[in-house]
Amino acid sequence: MVAVFFSGCAGYQARGSGDGGTTTGGPTMPEISIFTGAQALSVTAPRRCEFVNLSDATTFEWQLGYGQAGTGEDRVFASIFGTPPIAGSEIKNPQDAVWWWSSGWKATSGQGSDGRVTFGQGRGTAAGGEPDVTVAPDTSKLQLGHWYWFAVWAWNSDFKVVKASEARAFCDGLGCDCDPVREAYCQKLPGGIAPARCGL
């Protein structure tokens, strides 16, 4: 049975009005790999449930451990999904991918690096969520006020996924408090702060 793992919203975070920073509260949730048996990577940006004003300059960052940026592997793939990615041994809902970056794309374009990439350094997807190098990333194709999930994983030389992050939920813009999937999950978390605006 494939379990669905996605980021908890235990720490409520709100976009600041001054420097674009965030404030956060609540307990810290453990990192959970979306791939069964893979070593967990830590996503450091965006923060869990952060309100992000998505642009080409929006940064996504991950690390293997404190002070160890990136995965340390040669084959890395990062993606943003419109619904929580369902994994186990492979992504079961690739059709929901809306953006991607890979170490292969970096080798071709010189854009981004393992551990840090901006939205503008990635690429968009074709119909069915297929990665497509000819599709430029376009924030206008994403729904403002919608929850998205970012995840990154890495393969070894045998093409086995050996490291992977959780699926990190973030909100594109403001007004994402009423999301039944996110809210139902957050309410199950110990100490979770989930604004009850969906009537759950």
Establish if 193 belongs to a structural domain.
no
Q: Print the domain residue range for 111.
A: 13-186
pTM: 0.76
Establish if 1 belongs to a structural domain.
no
Q: How many structural domains are present in the chain?
A: 1
How confident is the prediction for the chain on average, in pLDDT? Answer: 77
- With residues binned 3-state (H G I as helix, E B as strand, rest as coil), the percentages for the chain, rounded to 5, are 15, 35, 55
Q: Which carries the bigger pLDDT value, residue 122 or residue 173?
A: 122
Establish if 142 belongs to a structural domain.
yes
Q: Is residue 115 predicted with pLDDT exceeding 90?
A: yes
199 Cβ partners below 8 Å, 6+ apart? none
Establish if 2 belongs to a structural domain.
no
Establish if 95 belongs to a structural domain.
yes
**165 close to 158: Cβ distance less than 8 angstroms:** no
* pLDDT tens track for 48-74: 878 888 999 999 999 997 778 899 999
Establish if 64 belongs to a structural domain.
yes
